Amino acid sequence: MHGLALEVPTDSTAQYATTPSFAKRSPSRPHLAILNLWTPAHIGTAGNELADAAAKEATTLLPHPSTFVSLTTTRRLVHLQVLSEWEAAWKRSKTGRALRQIDKSPPSLNPIPLYSSLTVARKTSSIISQLRTGPSHLHASRFKSGFIASSACDACGAAYETRAHFLLECPSWEPLRRPLHSVAKDAGLFGPLHVSPLLCEPKLLRAIAGFVEATGRFS
């Protein structure tokens, strides 16, 4: 056993410093010589480099499918994913241009109360919905679709009975717009009326429904 050398490969300078004192504390084995070698880290060692790369990659991985995720979190993630895909499809879509002009936000999972309101008649809700999305019984829309020969407004003779003409401009309906101005002001909308808030602002829903019904234009 005399002359037996034990080599302890290590890159720890701390261990290198403490090992000689260990040897001193073991006088009962004087035949055991401990040779402590210090080596500079593992850089350049192929296996170590692969292990380092794998460890770094692991920190970027998504949780394992078997990891517990609450139902609430799952619902929220699915909700966000659906909205994201919906918004992208909405922006790519060639249809819905008339609605995008007045409502920049994508369709919502929580629609404005237009479609669920109990205070607006179903027929009126349907008319407002048509005005929002574009195709309607207004003459400019019907003329564009080829259903009628003229786009002119029967009420005032203007060349195009567009939704802006019907809602904002037609002089025949001007007296009926007074409630709209009043409700818009109460909702914090000052200045001239615009198509977008008239058709998209929930606070104006009942007022615009009243205007549509009062004109009798869609009767």
Q: Which of 125, 134, 126 is nearest to 99 (CA)?
A: 134
In the complex, the smallest distance separating the C-beta of residue 86 from Zn ion, rounded to whole angstroms, is 37
- Touching Zn ion, residues 154-193 (CB under 5 A): 155-156, 158, 170
Looking at the Cβ atoms of 114 and 170, the one nearer to Zn ion is: 170
Examine residue 34 and tell whether it contacts Zn ion (CB under 5 A): no
Per rule CB under 5 A, count of chain residues that contact Zn ion: 5
What are the Cα distances from residue 216, in Å, to 124, 129, 156, 209, 213? 11, 17, 14, 11, 5
- Report the alpha-carbon distance of residue 205 to residue 180 in Å, rounded: 10
Looking at the Cβ atoms of 140 and 205, the one nearer to Zn ion is: 140
Alpha-carbon dihedral sign for residues 81, 83, 84, 86: positive
In the complex, the smallest distance separating the C-beta of residue 187 from Zn ion, rounded to whole angstroms, is 26
Task: With contacts defined by CB under 5 A, name the span among 36-44, 110-118, 151-159, 195-203 that binds Zn ion.
Answer: 151-159
Q: Which of 137, 106, 71 is nearest to 200 (CA)?
A: 106
The count of C-alpha atoms lying within 13 angstroms of the C-alpha of 42, restricted to the half-sphere facing its C-beta, is 10
Residue 171, helix vs strand vs coil:
helix
Task: With contacts defined by CB under 5 A, name the span among 148-156, 179-187, 192-200, 210-218 that binds Zn ion.
Answer: 148-156
Examine residue 153 and tell whether it contacts Zn ion (CB under 5 A): yes
In the complex, the smallest distance separating the C-beta of residue 174 from Zn ion, rounded to whole angstroms, is 10
Looking at the Cβ atoms of 11 and 154, the one nearer to Zn ion is: 154
In the complex, the smallest distance separating the C-beta of residue 161 from Zn ion, rounded to whole angstroms, is 6
